[in-house]
């Protein structure tokens, strides 16, 4: 239910207890920052002191992972989730570049993506809708909300009822404020300041925490980040995460066309004809370059 360093709070079906990775599990960790992630199903060996050893992590149905840029290792943000809820701040403007990264990760990991647009009470709505229009056209569920006023929250919860939902996003977009609104008894969780010029916030959630609602929905509050570097992606994963580019690419002359101006590239034609936005295409090229450079 919660991870912080080597200490984890684990729910055994009846109670929550502190647990620590066994030595053998640590040796098997490989090039991963964290051995255990929120959402993992684990084998426990309780001890007489009210804690337990985590002897094994069971196979994951999926995971949300990012690459730590300084060390190059994998950081598993959450696992075994049904929905990735990407929260953006409508003010001063949505960070759609980071959104594109999360959408690529969601599609590659077979996780349903949902877009949350917070702070709509502060936003210039026509400008926000213009930023969101390419995603609405692709059919992504978009929930416009205000974690401060409660606007739009019920619609989101109805959409994800009974599912495990990882709430991800940039620092300062309002993830912790949303969880404080839904779980008033947990309001000791800090809410960080936001730079009024940039809209960027400080990190206030230092660990991932799972909260269970009465209907069985589990909301995972993840640590705010300033960047999300792709982990384990090849160029086909990146292309598949841009739905309109992947669809247009089926008409390319060559099956391995990467849409950088190759002969017979139908994606270039779609961009010049306005069927794919310049901004989305530029975002695709950035992530393509990143995936290829890491590989």
Quote the pTM value: 0.89
Domain of 34, in residue numbers: 2-59
Domain membership flag for residue 21: yes
Task: Read off the pLDDT of residues 77-102 as tens digits, 9 standing for 90 and up.
Answer: 999 999 999 999 999 999 999 999 99
What is the phi/psi pair of residue 112, to 5°? Answer: -75, 125
> Mean pLDDT across the chain, nearest whole number?
88
> What pLDDT, on a 0 to 100 scale, did the predictor assign at position 272?
97
Residue 202 has pLDDT above 50, yes or no: no
- Note whether 265 and 155 are same-domain residues: no
Tally Cβ neighbours within 10 Å of residue 128. Answer: 20
> The CATH number of the domain where 28 resides is what?
2.40.50
State mean pLDDT over 105-125.
Answer: 97
Domain membership flag for residue 229: no
Highest mean pLDDT (candidates 2-16, 36-50, 74-88, 224-238): 74-88
User: pLDDT-derived band of residue 35, with 50, 70 and 90 as boundaries?
Assistant: confident
| Dist CA 159 CA 155 (whole Å) | 6
Domain membership flag for residue 8: yes
Domain membership flag for residue 81: yes
Nearest Cα residue to 83 out of 182, 219, 239, 181 = 219
Using the 3D structure, point to which of 165, 190, 221 is the last residue of a domain. Answer: 221
- Note whether 158 and 213 are same-domain residues: yes
- Note whether 52 and 71 are same-domain residues: no
Could you tell me the CA-to-CA distances from 171 to 26, 34, 97, 98 in Å, in that order?
30, 21, 14, 11
- Note whether 213 and 239 are same-domain residues: no
Domain membership flag for residue 26: yes
- Note whether 117 and 199 are same-domain residues: yes
State mean pLDDT over 208-218.
Answer: 91
More reliable by pLDDT, 199 or 251: 251
Using the 3D structure, point to which of 189, 221, 253 is the last residue of a domain. Answer: 221
- Note whether 269 and 289 are same-domain residues: yes
Task: Read off the pLDDT of residues 141-156 as tens digits, 9 standing for 90 and up.
Answer: 999 999 999 999 999 9
- Note whether 154 and 266 are same-domain residues: no
- Note whether 282 and 244 are same-domain residues: yes
Domain membership flag for residue 72: yes
User: pLDDT-derived band of residue 189, with 50, 70 and 90 as boundaries?
Assistant: very low
- Note whether 169 and 262 are same-domain residues: no
> What pLDDT, on a 0 to 100 scale, did the predictor assign at position 1?
59
> The CATH number of the domain where 272 resides is what?
1.10.40.50
């Amino acid at each position: 239910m919660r991870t912080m360093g080597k200490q984890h709070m684990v729910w055994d079906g009846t109670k929550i207890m502190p647990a620590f990775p066994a030595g053998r599990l640590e040796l098997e960790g490989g090039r991963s920052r964290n051995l255990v992630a929120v959402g993992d199903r684990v084998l426990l060996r309780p001890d007489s002191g009210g804690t337990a050893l985590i002897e094994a992590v069971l196979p994951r149905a999926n995971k949300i992972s990012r690459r730590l840029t300084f060390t190059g290792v994998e950081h598993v943000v959450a696992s075994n989730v049904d929905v990735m809820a990407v929260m953006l701040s409508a003010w001063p403007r949505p960070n759609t570049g980071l959104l594109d990264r999360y959408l690529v990760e969601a599609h590659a990991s077979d996780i349903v993506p949902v877009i949350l647009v917070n702070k709509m009470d502060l936003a210039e709505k026509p400008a926000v809708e213009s930023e969101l229009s390419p995603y609405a056209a692709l059919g992504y569920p978009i929930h416009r909300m205000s974690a401060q006023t409660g606007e739009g929250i019920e619609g989101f919860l109805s959409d994800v009822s009974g599912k495990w939902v990882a709430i991800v996003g940039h620092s300062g977009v309002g993830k912790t404020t949303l969880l404080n609104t839904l779980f008033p008894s947990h309001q000791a969780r800090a809410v960080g300041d936001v730079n009024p010029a940039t809209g960027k916030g400080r990190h206030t959630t230092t660990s991932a925490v799972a909260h269970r609602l009465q209907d069985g929905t589990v909301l995972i509050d993840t640590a705010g980040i300033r960047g999300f570097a792709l982990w384990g992606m090849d160029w086909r994963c990146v292309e598949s995460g841009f739905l309109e580019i992947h669809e247009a690419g089926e008409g390319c002359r060559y099956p391995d066309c990467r849409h950088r101006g190759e002969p017979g590239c139908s994606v270039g034609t779609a961009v010049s004809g306005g069927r794919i936005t310049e901004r989305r295409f530029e975002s695709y090229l950035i992530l393509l370059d990143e995936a290829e450079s890491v590989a």
